[in-house]
Structure 1
Amino acid sequence: MNIIFVCTGNTCRSPMAEALFKSIAETEGLDVSVRSAGVFASPNGKASPHAVEALFEKRIALNHVSSPLTEEHMEAADLVLAMTHQHKQVIVSQFERYRDKVFTLKEYVTGSRGDIIDPFGGTIEIYKETRDELEALLQQLAEQLKNDGK
Structure 2
Amino acid sequence: MYCLNYRSLMPNLLDTKNKSLSILVVCTGNLCRSPMAEIILREKIRQQKLNISVSSAGTIKMKGKTTPDEKALQALLSQGYCLAVSQVRQITQQDFIDYDLIYAMDKTNLADLIDLCPLSCRSKLGLFLSYAPTKEKEVPDPYQRNMKVFHQTAALIEAGAQALIEYWGKNGVATSHNAITNQESMA
**Band the TM-score falls in, shorter-chain normalisation:** over 0.9
1:60 alignment partner AA: Y
| Identity value in percent | 27
Q: Which residue of 2 aligns with 1:135?
A: 158
Count residues in correspondence. Answer: 150
Residue 37 of structure 2 is aligned to residue 13 of structure 1: no
Q: Which residue of 1 aligns with 2:49?
A: 29
How far, CA to CA, are the matches of 1:73 and 1:15 in structure 2? 16
Residue 64 of structure 1: CA displacement? 3.2
Q: Which residue of 2 aligns with 1:60?
A: 81
Q: Relative contact order (C-alpha < 8 Å, sep 6+): which is higher? A: 2
Q: Which structure 1 segments of 5+ residues have no match? A: none
How far, CA to CA, are the matches of 2:132 and 2:99 in structure 1? 17
1:100 alignment partner AA: S
Question: In the TM superposition, what whole-angstrom CA distance separates every residue of 1:18-53 from its partner, at most 9, and x where no partner exists?
Answer: 000000000011110101000013486111110110
Q: Which structure 2 segments of 5+ residues have no match? A: 1-20, 174-187
How far, CA to CA, are the matches of 2:172 and 2:155 in structure 1? 26
Question: In the TM superposition, what whole-angstrom CA distance separates every residue of 1:109-150 from its partner, at most 9, and x where no partner exists?
Answer: 56x873101100001110000000000110111011111111
How far, CA to CA, are the matches of 2:158 and 2:147 in structure 1? 16
Q: Which residue of 1 aligns with 2:93?
A: 71
SS in 2 for 1:141: helix
Higher normalized helix content (fraction of residues): 1
Residue 104 of structure 2 is aligned to residue 82 of structure 1: yes
Q: Which residue of 2 aligns with 1:92?
A: 114
Residue 107 of structure 1: CA displacement? 2.4
Structure 1 residue ranges, 4+ long, deviating more than 6 angstroms after superposition: none
Question: In the TM superposition, what whole-angstrom CA distance separates every residue of 1:36-73 from its partner, at most 9, and x where no partner exists?
Answer: 00001348611111011011012213233101000121
How far, CA to CA, are the matches of 1:122 and 1:17 in structure 2? 18
How far, CA to CA, are the matches of 1:90 and 1:119 in structure 2? 19
SS in 2 for 1:75: helix
SS in 1 for 2:79: coil
